Amino acid sequence: MDLSLTSVSHRYGTTEVLSDISLDIADGRIMCIVGPSGCGKSTLLRMIGGLERPDRGRIVQNGAVPEGCLNPLTYVFQDFALLPWRSVAGNVGLVLEDHRLPRTHRDAIIADVLARTNLTEFRDAWPRQLSGGMKQRVAIARALAVKPAVMLMDEPLSALDAQTRELLMDDLVALWTRAPFTAVYVTHNLAEAVRLGHRIVVLSRRPGRIRDIVEIDIPLAERRASAPALEAHQSHLWQLMRDEAAAAVQELHDA
């Protein structure tokens, strides 16, 4: 399923947050959204996910959802959002409970996504027993369990330390390489954007407008941290954002 956004604009009260965003989100690709603090990245993600409606413009879903899809648009949040009183398998199974699936089918889905995220041996563990990186893998397994058409990822690695972030980026690349999924991935971190994004949308400071769209055609599995080609893309992104980011910080300071 593809998504297309046409002239999406939004304001909260008198604050204009997004302005004239037109974008296509292609099936089977990862689109990253970067931009200065407060430029409307999370707002845009909520609009794409249907949690809020834009004041102006349209967001249209084109084409069929994947076979077996239980929820077309699924979120992965920065804070993992796991229930502490449920085991790993219980947290993953939660999203299947409303779907009246036969128990064997449900168990098979849980086993499959836990295997894909290397969590099989932790299926009975409690969230408190897991590191941050493992918790986020559970959240990713939970998102995959509903076979979403599009995963909406809001700073999914931001709460993790640098080494864990690297490992989870490798996990995401391996997951995508085995079975390509469609994702919109909001991040502050340009290194993440160039490792994971097929396409990177750079927003201006608020109201967020599209400043540029950068395509990276290096296969995800061939992108190595600090590879010169990726560093060049990252530096180009920073050049695009630098003045805007400085102005956004100054605005926050002056407010």
| Contact positions vs ligand ATP (CB under 6 A) | 12, 17, 35, 37-43, 188, 206
Query: Least Å distance between CB 158 and ligand ATP?
Result: 9
- Measured CA to CA, the distance from residue 48 to residue 33 in angstroms comes to 12
Query: Least Å distance between CB 43 and ligand ATP?
Result: 3
- Measured CA to CA, the distance from residue 155 to residue 79 in angstroms comes to 9
Query: Least Å distance between CB 3 and ligand ATP?
Result: 18
Contacts of 233 (CB under 8 A, 6+ apart): 194, 200, 214, 216
Query: Least Å distance between CB 11 and ligand ATP?
Result: 9
Q: Are 171 and 156 in contact (CB under 8 A)?
A: no
Query: By C-beta, is 7 or 37 nearer to ligand ATP?
Result: 37
- Measured CA to CA, the distance from residue 141 to residue 153 in angstroms comes to 13
Query: By C-beta, is 4 or 42 nearer to ligand ATP?
Result: 42
Query: By C-beta, is 47 or 141 nearer to ligand ATP?
Result: 47
Q: How far is CA 63 from the centre of its chain?
A: 21
**Block residue for tokens 């994947």:** 66
Query: Least Å distance between CB 207 and ligand ATP?
Result: 9
Query: By C-beta, is 206 or 223 nearer to ligand ATP?
Result: 206
Query: By C-beta, is 145 or 245 nearer to ligand ATP?
Result: 245
Query: Least Å distance between CB 248 and ligand ATP?
Result: 9
Axis-axis angle for helices 132-145, 162-178 (nearest 10): 20
- Measured CA to CA, the distance from residue 9 to residue 32 in angstroms comes to 19
The CA-based dihedral angle spanning residues 128, 133, 139, 142, taken in that order and rounded to the nearest 10 degrees: -100
Query: By C-beta, is 64 or 252 nearer to ligand ATP?
Result: 252
